[in-house]
Structure formats: C-alpha cells, structure tokens
C-alpha cells in the first residue's frame, strides 16, 4: 500500500527587519511633523485679559471694588478684570444679596454721569469684547427698572460666572439756570453659577 502524499505546509519565513522598521519610522516622522507645526504655529502663552475698548474713553475694572472682599467669596481675578466701568461711574454701594452661602454672590450699584444710551452701548461692546456670552438682554423692572444685560463666562476657578448689568433711566437735576446734571444708576450683580 502506498501512503498518500501529505500536503506541503508553508514554511515560516521571517519578516524582514527593513520592512518592520518602516512602521516606527513613519510614526516618528508623523510625530515630528506635528510637533514642528505646534512649535511654529502654536504654543502661545495663555491669553491675557483683553484691554478695554478705547472708543469709550477711560475705564477701570471691578478689581478694586472687590479688593476688600474675603478672597474665598471674591470672583477670580480673570472675571474681575473682564468687567469694566466707564470713568464717569463712581460711588460703589454694596447691595445685600440673599444668595446661597456656598456660591458667592455680589451686587454693587454705581452712579454714572453718562447717559443711558452711552452706558448701553458701552456694556454691549465691552462685555462682548471681554468674552462674556449674552443669554438675555432687554427691558427689566429689576433693580429699579431699565435695561438689563445677562451674560455668562467661565472663570479660571473652574466655575461659570453669571453677570447681570442693569442700566437705569437717566435722571436730570437742575443746577439753578445752567445745564442740568445727569445721573444714571448702574447695578452689577455677579454670582457663581456652576462648574462646567
């Protein structure tokens, strides 16, 4: 009896090291390419707060207004530096808030010698310029009435901060025969909303 021939099994052939080296060479080359692109076009320092818009004249931030607040309850510096007041505003008056003690809530009222129209244009432009995202704007009866702007921005502390700016109606008082004095009330409310 003749035994049937067994099928020939393919023999093992080792992989060429040159072919195996192509994969890591391509990976290292791709990594080097993207690192080079990052070095040339990226890698910028963290963004600094934007300077105030100069079209509205001199301004100041709320940093000095919040300087006397306990640092635990104060908003982070990047939030304080992104809210501006025209130089025509003075006389900060603290308004009591009934906010949650675990989430800071601040309210200040200012008296400004600018008109309602000027202040509306100022806050619309300045808050957008400073990175605040508006979620409501229009007439309000809150804080004595006027125009309200509500906006939100992420702070460096990991929380979102909500801002409410209420611009009252301009009032005029007689100066005894000359040009009347004008005064407009601006209320700024700021509170910590939530994380992410």
Count of all residues that appear for the chain in the document = 196
Domain locations in the chain as residue ranges: 14-44, 54-195
pLDDT in tens, 159-175: 899 999 999 998 888 87
Q: What is the pLDDT of residue 123?
A: 93
Q: What is the pLDDT of residue 100?
A: 64
- Is 41 buried (19+), middle (13-18) or exposed (0-12) by CB count in 10 A? exposed
Q: What is the pLDDT of residue 46?
A: 55
DSSP for 67-123 reads TTS-TTTSPPHHHHTT-EEETTEEEEEE------TTS-EEEEEEEESS-HHHHHHHH
Tens-of-pLDDT digits for all 196 residues of the chain?
A: 677 777 776 676 666 777 778 888 898 999 889 888 888 877 555 556 666 667 788 888 888 888 777 777 788 889 988 999 998 888 777 776 766 666 778 888 999 999 999 999 999 999 999 999 999 999 888 777 789 999 999 998 888 999 999 999 988 888 777 788 889 999 999 988 865 5
CB 152 within 8 A of CB 162: yes
Q: Which two tokens stand for residue 57?
A: 């004249």
Q: What is the pLDDT of residue 117?
A: 92
Q: What is the pLDDT of residue 9?
A: 67
> Distance between the two ends of the chain, CA-based, in angstroms?
83
């Amino acid at each position: 009896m003749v035994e049937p021939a067994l099928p020939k099994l393919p023999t093992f052939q080792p992989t060429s090291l040159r072919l195996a080296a192509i994969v890591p060479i391509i990976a290292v080359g791709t990594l080097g390419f993207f690192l080079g692109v990052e070095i040339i076009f990226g890698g910028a320092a963290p963004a600094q707060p934007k300077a105030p818009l100069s079209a509205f004249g001199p301004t100041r931030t709320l940093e000095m207004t919040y300087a006397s607040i306990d640092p635990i309850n104060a908003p982070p510096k990047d939030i304080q530096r992104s809210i501006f007041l025209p130089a025509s505003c003075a006389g900060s008056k603290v308004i009591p808030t009934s906010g949650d003690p675990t989430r800071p809530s601040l309210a200040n009222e200012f008296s400004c010698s600018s008109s309602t129209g000027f202040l509306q244009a100022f806050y619309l432009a300045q808050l957008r310029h400073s990175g605040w995202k508006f979620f409501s704007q229009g007439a309000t009866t809150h804080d004595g009435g006027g125009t309200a702007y509500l906006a939100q921005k992420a702070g460096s502390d990991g929380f979102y901060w909500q801002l409410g700016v209420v611009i009252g109606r301009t009032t005029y008082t007689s100066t005894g025969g000359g040009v009347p004095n004008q005064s407009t009330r601006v209320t700024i409310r700021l509170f910590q909303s939530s994380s992410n």
